[in-house]
Chains A and B, each alone.
Chain A
Amino acid sequence: MKLTDVAKVVRSKNAGPLQITIDLMFEDRERYNTAATSQSLSPANLAHLYGLRQDRVRVIPFPQALAIKLVFDRNIVAGDPGDKDVYGTQQHRLLLGVEL
C-alpha cells in the first residue's frame, strides 16, 4: 500500500528559512495508524529517501490531529542564491512514491 492510498494531505512548507516541514494528514484513526506504525516513515528511511543525514530528519506523530509531521533541515537556506523553492512548498514529491 502506498502512502498516497491512505493520506488525505501531503504538504510541504518552510518552518522558517532553515527548515522544511512536511505534514501528512489522514481521514481517520485507522489510516493514521497504518502510516504512523510503518517503518517506511522512520527517520532512517526518510533520511535515505531524501539523501540527508539521519540527525537532520525528525518525525513527530501528532495523533490529536491524525497527522504526522516530518521536519528536515534545508540543505540550502530559503532564498539563498541557488535555492529552488523559496517557500518550500514543492518538496513533498518523494513521499508520493513511498510504499508503507
Chain B
Amino acid sequence: MSAVGKLHDRFGGDITGKSLKALAASGQLGYGLPEAALREGLKREPDFIGCDMGSVDPGPYYLGAGEMATAPAMTEHDLREVLHGARRLDVPLLIGTAGTAGAQPHLNKTLAIIRKIAKEDGLKFRLASIAADIPKEMVKQASRDNRMIKLGEMDVPNDAAVDATSHLVGQMGTEAFQRALDAEADVIIAGRACDTAVFSSVPNMLGYPMGPAMHMAKIIECTSISCTPGGRDAMLGTLEGESFVLESMNPDRHATPLSVAAHGLYEQADPFSVREPEGALHLNDIELEAIDHHRVRGRGARWEPAEQLSVKLEGSTYVGERGILVAGACDPNFIAALDDITPALEQTVRDLLGDTVRPEFQLSFRVYGRDGVSLWPTPPSHPPHEVFIMGECIATTAAETKAILTTCKQYFLHYGFPGRLSTAGNLAFPFTPPEILTGPAYRFSVYHVMQVDELAPLFPVAVEEV
C-alpha cells in the first residue's frame, strides 16, 4: 500500500480525535540540514514530511538562468536525508519550489538528483513531479482580457515583454499537490509552489479544517525561525482539528506566543491575510497560547475560499552579460570628486570604444563606505576614510563587457580632476585583473497575479516509478 493509502486508512474520512503530525524538515533545502533536530523529528513518527526548496528572494538570476542557488553536493546531501527519512517511515514527502526557482530546469535538476539517490541507495517509490511553467500565450491572453493584476509599480507585461521572459512560472497551491496525492505518489517534487501548500495539502486531503491547517503551514514552512531564538531546525506541527501545536525539534529553540505572532510579519506585506490561489487565510482573530515554555497552541484562523481563482506569476528576462570592476580609494580629494568623475569617465569610455561595442551597454558605480547600500537618499556625513568602488557593466556580449570594463579601469586609474595631488593613480586594486565577468544578468519582468478559471491545466502532474 502507498504512503498516501496508509494515511487514508488511518484517518478514514473521520478525523475526530485524531492528530496529524507534519514535520517541516527544511525551509531552504540545499543549504544544509541541522541533523540532530531532523533525527528528533523523525523519531516522532510524523504523518508526512515537507520541505521548501526555494523562493523569489534570491533575485531574478536563478529563475532566468534555470540554475540552482545551492551547491549540487549539498543539495544532494539534503535530499538524501529527507528521502531516507520519509521512505523509512513510509510517509509522503512533499518538496515545494524545486531547485531554488521552480521552473522546468530546476525541476529537472532536482528530479535527476532524486532518481540518482534512489538508484544508488536502492530505494523504490512512486515519484510525482508538478511543473509550474505557465504558457506564454495564456499570460498574453490574460493581459488582453484585463485578468493580470498589478502588485506594485510594475506594469502589466505586453506581448513582447511576455515573449522575452526566459522563464515564467506560477505559484501552485494545494490543488496541484492534491492531484499528486490522489495519484498516490510517495514523493512529490513541485516546481514553483506556495510554501503553505506543501504543508496544507495533506491535511486538506484528510478533511482537516483549512483555516488552522493553513495557519500551521504558514508558520512551520520556515521551520524554527518562528521560535526564540530562531533557527533552521526541523519543526513539528501537530494538527488537532480546530487547533494545532507547534514544537521545535531543537530543545533550545522555543515557540512562544510572541515569537509565533511575530513570525506572522516575516516577509509579508500584510500580517492579517495571506492570499493563496484557492482562497485567503485571515489571521485577525488568531489565538496563540503557551502550552509550556517550548510549545504553543494556535487556533482561530479563518479560511475564505476564493470566488475568483488566481495564480501569482514570476517571470525573469535576460538583460545581457554582467561584469564588475573592483577598486578601493582613500584619497580625500578623489573621494570628494567621485560624483563628477564617474559620468565624465563613462563618456570617455564611450568615446574611446566607439563602434567597437554596441552603445546600449549600462555602466554604473556603487561607492561603498558612502552610499553603496542604501536605496534611499542618505543624509550627508563626513567623507569616509576609505571607499570601495564597484563598477558594474551589462553589455550584449561577455567580450564587450570585458572591453568596456578594461578601458574603464585604465582611465579611472589615471583620471585627472581639479585639485588632484596623486597623479600616479587614483585607485587601489586588491588584485589584478580587477575586472571580473560574472555571467548572464536578468531582471524580474513579471510579478503579477493572473486570474484563472481553472488551476489544474496550469500545473500538470507526471508520475513515475523509481
Rounded to whole angstroms, the CA-CA distance of A17 and B267 in the bound complex is 11
Q: How many residues in B have their beta carbons less than 8 Å from beta carbons of A?
A: 41
Interface presence of A100 (CB below 8 A)? no
Rounded to whole angstroms, the CA-CA distance of A78 and B392 in the bound complex is 16
Select which of B258, B265, B364 is within 8 A of A69 by beta carbon: B265
- Chain A nearest CB: distance from B257 CB in Å? 9
Select which of A66, A86, A91 is within 8 A of B59 by beta carbon: A86
Interface presence of B377 (CB below 8 A)? yes
Interface presence of A2 (CB below 8 A)? no
Select which of A23, A65, A94 is within 8 A of B376 by beta carbon: A94
Question: Quick one: given A62-B265, A65-B265, A94-B378, are A18 and B372 in contact (CB under 8 Å)?
Answer: no
* Chain A, range 1-39, C-beta contacts under 8 Å to B: 9, 13-21, 23, 25
Contact B258 A65, beta carbon cutoff 8 Å: yes
Contact B152 A66, beta carbon cutoff 8 Å: no
Contact A15 B376, beta carbon cutoff 8 Å: no
Inside 8 A of A15's CB, which chain B residues have their CB?
Answer: 267-269
Interface presence of B375 (CB below 8 A)? yes
- Which of B267, B272, B364 has the most chain A CB atoms inside 10 A of its CB? B267
> Which of B90-98, B124-132, B437-445, B451-459 is near enough to bind chain A?
B437-445
Interface presence of B61 (CB below 8 A)? yes
Rounded to whole angstroms, the CA-CA distance of A23 and B56 in the bound complex is 20
Contact B376 A87, beta carbon cutoff 8 Å: no
Interface presence of A59 (CB below 8 A)? no
Interface presence of A71 (CB below 8 A)? yes
Which B-chain residue is minimally distant from A60 (CB atoms)?
A: B271
Rounded to whole angstroms, the CA-CA distance of A13 and B441 in the bound complex is 22
Which B-chain residue is minimally distant from A8 (CB atoms)?
A: B262
Which B-chain residue is minimally distant from A58 (CB atoms)?
A: B269
Which B-chain residue is minimally distant from A75 (CB atoms)?
A: B375
* Chain B, range 141-175, C-beta contacts under 8 Å to A: 151-154
Contact A93 B374, beta carbon cutoff 8 Å: yes
- Which of B57, B272, B364 has the most chain A CB atoms inside 10 A of its CB? B57
- Chain B nearest CB: distance from A7 CB in Å? 12
Interface presence of B193 (CB below 8 A)? no
Contact A79 B61, beta carbon cutoff 8 Å: yes
Contact A84 B152, beta carbon cutoff 8 Å: no
Which B-chain residue is minimally distant from A68 (CB atoms)?
A: B265
- Chain B nearest CB: distance from A70 CB in Å? 10
Contact B443 A81, beta carbon cutoff 8 Å: yes
Inside 8 A of B58's CB, which chain A residues have their CB?
Answer: 86-87
5 residue pairs A–B, Cβ–Cβ below 8 Å = A50-B376, A67-B265, A80-B443, A84-B372, A94-B376
B residues within 8 Å of A by Cβ? 56-61, 151-154, 258, 261-262, 264-272, 286, 319, 362, 364, 366, 372-378, 392, 394, 441-444, 447
A residues within 8 Å of B by Cβ? 9, 13-21, 23, 25, 50-52, 58, 60, 62, 64-67, 69, 71, 73-88, 90-91, 93-94
